Structure 1
Amino acid sequence: MSLDACAVIVARGDPDRFLATMAAPVAARELLLPLYAFNVEVARLPWVSPEPMICEMRLQWWRDLLTRIAAGTVPDTHEIAAPLAGVIGHNGAVAEVLDRLIVARQWDIYRDPFEDDAALHAYIDATAAGLTWAAANVLGAPEASEPAIRDAGWAAGLANYLRAVPELETHGRRPLVDGRPAAVSALAQAGLDRLARARKATIPAEAYPALLAGWRAKATLERAAKEPARVADGALHESEFARRGGLFLRSLRGTW
């Protein structure tokens, strides 16, 4: 299938990454959209059925697909399979990162809380930070930049996660290890610290389109750190003007 199918999936399921990708050069879009479409498809699977076994089987299907792609097969079993294979190619390292993302999404199937802060941090690392690193890597970022890129991706993932807390609770999940204000504030500050560390590091310009997807992270995390009650209230979102304006300014300046 064409890249258009990937664009439709991302636009519908991940509006922030879609907007950020549309602000990137065309060559970067062709690499990012299949990865982001893959992420949308995997992220929705834990919610498609009340039967955990069905969700587990569907996640396993994507793991098997990645194995086939890494082995050099171009499957035609899903509309994004061929574009994804075109991006990953024989890059087993990226395939492994995406496989860990799928495994982490198993948590979303069940209603059990995270065991501790380390488990929550590992979930965000495997999902958001992993996807950010995979995207930057296929754009040409060297392995030396992985820690900083993962820091940026982790901060962006935490911001997205905190914005999603009310909806997760509505679906019977327990997204936070400790929902008390001080703990929520500390969690948000951890994200800010990792973001600050990433911005002090030397990150190659070719990775910027991947990092641009987290343009809302700093503002969201600052709100959560300062007023943690806004997390449970679902009041972390900025205005649409501020959301789009922030992206526009960063894309104009060539920053993230």
Structure 2
Amino acid sequence: MSLQDDIASCAETVHSGDPMRFLSAMTADGADRDALMVLYAFNVEVARAPWVTEEPMIAEMRLQWWIDAVEEIFTGATVRRHQVVTPLAELVARRDLPRGPFDALIAARRWDIYKEPHADDAALWSYLDGTAGSLMALAVQAMDGQGDAAVLKAANAYGTACGAAGLLEAVPALEAANRYPLVDGTAQGVSALAGKALAQMDAAKTALKGVARPKRAALRTGWLARGVLRQAVREPALVGAGMLGRSDAGKRLRLMGLAATGRF
């Protein structure tokens, strides 16, 4: 298979496994869109690894497979042939992406293997930082082609806050699978979590305004997060009822408006 075939396969993986990120990536142009599809496909594969089996040891082995693949990419070893790993290695080299966020993303997903709740708020926010935060920082660097420390720190914080919104939307499904992602599931606790995430989004967004408009598709994965978090602050009972968010039509209209005006 050619590199473009691999990228097309990545796009299919994202379309089926993470449709909201797929839609946001489609607001990017050309090579930037390809970069996002590759990163998001990597995220889909790592995120699903703990869920394809009930056996923790097998899930650990699946995550180890990705740890080993990242090791090959960053140490100059022969990189295994794989429809995601192969284009990811090319992207890492072309955009000089750092290893740390990849390692953090995989390590954070170990929580999904087991059924113990997060130990405390710090553990919950560490999970969000390692997953959604790391991914957004990588996406911004892959598109922007720079390693500006302040921008990447803000991207990580923004992504972490967006991850909190996604987590709140997923609470009913996670609890049905015997995972308990909230440290404090009371109305007060949910509202506090959402409020903290909103404040973090606002602080990070100021620093991210310097990202060039054509490169902001990396930030648009959070195009629904603010609305979800505001809902959770006002009506925390919606979280347990699985009623956060807006209609599919409303989601698409919101994204189209942001893309047309260069916002995120």
Q: Distance in 1 between matches of 2:245 and 2:163?
A: 15
Q: How does 1:134-173 map to 2 (within 5 A)?
A: 134-139=138-143, 140-141=145-146, 142-173=148-179
- Are the counterparts in 1 of residues 165 and 225 from structure 2 also a CA contact under 8 Å? yes
* Residue of structure 1 in register with 2:262 after alignment: 254
Q: 1:35 aligns with which of 33, 39, 63?
A: 39
- 2:150 matches 1:182: no
Deviations 1:30-51 (A, max 9, x none): 2111110000000001011111
Q: How does 1:4-43 map to 2 (within 5 A)?
A: 4-43=8-47
Q: How does 1:27-176 map to 2 (within 5 A)?
A: 27-73=31-77, 75-89=79-93, 94-139=98-143, 140-141=145-146, 142-176=148-182
Deviations 1:92-120 (A, max 9, x none): 75322111100100000000000000000
* Residue of structure 2 in register with 1:229 after alignment: 237
- Are the counterparts in 2 of residues 188 and 221 from structure 1 also a CA contact under 8 Å? yes
TM-score when scaled to structure 2? 0.93
* Residue of structure 2 in register with 1:204 after alignment: 211
Aligned letter for 1:155? A
* Residue of structure 2 in register with 1:217 after alignment: 225
Q: Distance in 1 between matches of 2:201 and 2:158?
A: 5
Q: Which sections of structure 1, spanning at least 5 residues, go unmatched?
A: none
Count of residue correspondences: 256
Aligned letter for 2:23? L
CA RMSD of aligned residues (A): 1.5
Comparing 89-98 with 145-154, which one deviates more in the overlay? Answer: 89-98
TM-score when scaled to structure 1? 0.96
Q: Shift in Å at residue 71 of structure 1?
A: 2.1
- Are the counterparts in 1 of residues 95 and 141 from structure 2 also a CA contact under 8 Å? no
Q: Distance in 2 between matches of 1:25 and 1:73?
A: 32
- Are the counterparts in 2 of residues 168 and 175 from structure 1 also a CA contact under 8 Å? yes
Deviations 1:202-222 (A, max 9, x none): 432164121011101100000
Q: Distance in 1 between matches of 2:58 and 2:31?
A: 37
Q: Shift in Å at residue 75 of structure 1?
A: 2.8
Aligned letter for 1:211? L
Q: Shift in Å at residue 91 of structure 1?
A: 6.8
Q: Name the SS of the counterpart of 1:235 in structure 2.
A: coil
Q: Distance in 2 between matches of 1:128 and 1:207?
A: 18
Q: Which sections of structure 2, spanning at least 5 residues, go unmatched?
A: none
Q: Name the SS of the counterpart of 1:230 in structure 2.
A: helix
> Percent identity among equivalent residues?
44
Q: Distance in 2 between matches of 1:143 and 1:6?
A: 28
Q: Shift in Å at residue 232 of structure 1?
A: 0.6
Q: Distance in 2 between matches of 1:138 and 1:155?
A: 20
